[in-house]
Amino acid sequence: MAEQLIELNVTGMHCNNCAMSIHRLLEKKGLQDISVDFAGEEVKFTNNPAVTLPQIVKDIEGLGFKVIGDPALHTPRFYEQVENKFILCAIFTAPLLLHMVLPWHLLHSTWVQLALCLPVFIVGCLHFGKSAFNSVKGGVPNMDVLIFVGSTAAFVYSLVGTLQHLGPRFMFYETCATIITLVLLGNVFEKRSVNQTTSAVKDLMKIQQTTANRMVNGSIEVISAKDVRPGDTLVVNQGDKIPVDGEVLSGGASIDESMLTGESVPVDIEKYGKVIGGTLLIKGNITMLATKVGANTTLSQIIELMKKAQAAKPPVQKLGDKVAAIFVPAVILISVLTFLFTYLIGQSDLQTALMNAIAVLVISCPCAMGLATPTAVMVGLGRAAKNGILIKGGDTVEAVTDAKYIVFDKTGTLTTGKFSIQDIKLNSGTSLEEVRGIITAIEERSNHPIATSLVEQLKSLSKTKTILISATEEKGLGMRAEDVNGNTYFLGSGKTADTHYNLSLYKNQIQIAQIAIDDTIKPEAAGLITQLKQMGITPILLSGDKNNRCQKVAVALGIDEVHGEKLPDEKLSIIDVYKKKGKTLMIGDGINDAPALTRADVGISMSGASQIAIQSARVVLLNTDLSSVVKFLQISRHTLLTIKQNLFWAFAYNVVAIPIAALGFLNPMVGAFTMAFSDVVIIGNSLRLKRKRL
């Protein structure tokens, strides 16, 4: 069987420790390209012909997790929901706690206390015990080991006291039940908080769940958007969501694309205009042709990139992962030593020694360390996405925070990319109409901003029609083409003596025209350059355009370092020079920028860029407004700051809490309560990023 990427939806993962146990299991089976996202509840890997999928599913479920089909259609059973487990345990735990303050004789009966504690202990064994056992078996002990050992020690101690009639000093049923109930309460809060951190992807997935009006033989049938096929004709009315990507066949409309670009101003679309699935038609009506459906739509690709980004670990997380992996065995050792020192050396009674040891187990919190990074990354990426900034990896967030240089391409990045022909100089007796026709025929085959602008400008002018049989784009040079008569053409930035002209047109290797084109600087570009300088970042202009044009733009914007007339390989060399001096980002949009975008520490692509530029970049700015560059830098810096805060609090909590518990200053129930809420504090700090003023 050929290798293929397998995707499984797995529920029951609480934090990064859970993800690590699945990751290690799959590694032992020899699987490759493993990615485990606990918050997104997704496990991906490349299958191994030697291992069957049913066996992999069985082994993952053996760790205490559950593999499900479509998450949208999955409804967990009543007894599987952590909220219901908590409510059941709380009902039995409440009277156990009340016996400490109420004089009711019945509540003081050891047998009544055993009867109240037993259902809670059974729930705890099923919820924590199975996961604890399988995590130890898998070689990655998780937090459930600590909870299970602590609650079981209290229960067994109390049960022995009950059976041997040793009296109330041996009764700690309320400790056992309270530990389990409070940790379940923490799990409830944790589950809801993690759901909030992943809301960006879930919101995008909800946008996909819409219907489409498909035209069949003159009549309309309503179908699900996922059933639309390429080539279908769809009718979209005012107030409808556009179901898939496509082209307008007739009609006109104003479309709200804010969910994609963060831009609140509606976009007017007419015949032959392109529309994006998931955007909202707020005024007008259109008939459209479906071109991209399913996983190929822009929205689906964004969702997939978001999922991959959330699963990508920043380098700062590796420290947390390493500590969390050895944390549980270390805590168990500390707990055992606490018991031995308290009982044997400190000469305390058995009850005190056991309570101190249990307190150590339940106060420690490896989950907080496991949650510290991914929750902050998810919220940060979600906030960026809502601002029209698509970050392809959580590791990108850390990579940009110490940026020293930002290298800008000129055309379509610092300038509008809307070009117009200023002048055409004819050679060899060629007519103006013929040159216009050749330019139009060649540039229709390119998606470069210059090409789009020139085709638009020449559309209404008189020209001789040229029919091409081939056209190819050469990185950083231009377009080569051949017509039906066998004539060959080249249109590109050939170096000319007259710097006024920046494009040359050749027919059969003879220059027949020189073209002067120019575009305008984006209105927000100057403000961006000023802000970058204030942030301590040096802006650099790197372009294939003429030196004099690059200098003109650089002077207008206040950019001091300029590199003009550079081919793609020369751009790579310049990027390498800056990378040696400090962290270097590159912003571009054309095919000629793709190698440099890949070579830079972080490549940033503009939304109207060529597909290869978007694929080469680690960040895509869906909004053409350059101010989103600063927003991206701010979100990245605050995300990394939040990660560092989370890791500090997670480490500090354990460093302070474990010695306090070991010295006997902490009741196990208080320990369970504070442990449960340490996770919530970490996630709460991450959620501040959603609304934090940057």
Return d(Cα 127, Cα 26) in angstroms, integer. 23
Buried b (16+ CB within 10 A) or exposed e, 343-375: beeeebeeeebbbbbbbbbbbbbbbbbbbbbbb
DSSP H or E stretch at residue 457: helix 449-458
395 noted as active-site residue = no
Return d(Cα 248, Cα 258) in angstroms, integer. 19
Return d(Cα 304, Cα 392) in angstroms, integer. 9
- Amino acid identity at 100: M
| Parallel, antiparallel or unpaired: strands 219-224 and 389-391 | unpaired
Instruction: Find, among 626, 603, 605, the residue nearest to 614 by Cα.
Output: 605
- Widest CA span in the chain: 115
Cβ-in-10-Å burial (0-12, 13-18, 19+) of 403 comes to buried
Return d(Cα 652, Cα 91) in angstroms, integer. 34
Task: Enter the DSSP assignment of 126.
Answer: I
Choice among 409, 519, 601, 679 that is catalytic:
409
- Amino acid identity at 281: L
Secondary structure string (H, E, C) spanning 374-416: HHHHHHHHHHHHHCCEEECCHHHHHHHCCEEEEEECHHHHHEC
Which CA distances in Å does 319 have to 370, 373, 493, 647?
10, 10, 50, 9
Return d(Cα 6, Cα 284) in angstroms, integer. 42
Do residues 622 and 394 touch, judged by C-beta distance below 8 A?
Answer: no
Do residues 138 and 361 touch, judged by C-beta distance below 8 A?
Answer: no
Task: Enter the DSSP assignment of 496.
Answer: -
10 Å Cβ neighbour count for 229?
11
Return d(Cα 292, Cα 54) in angstroms, integer. 33
Catalogue the active-site residues.
Answer: 409
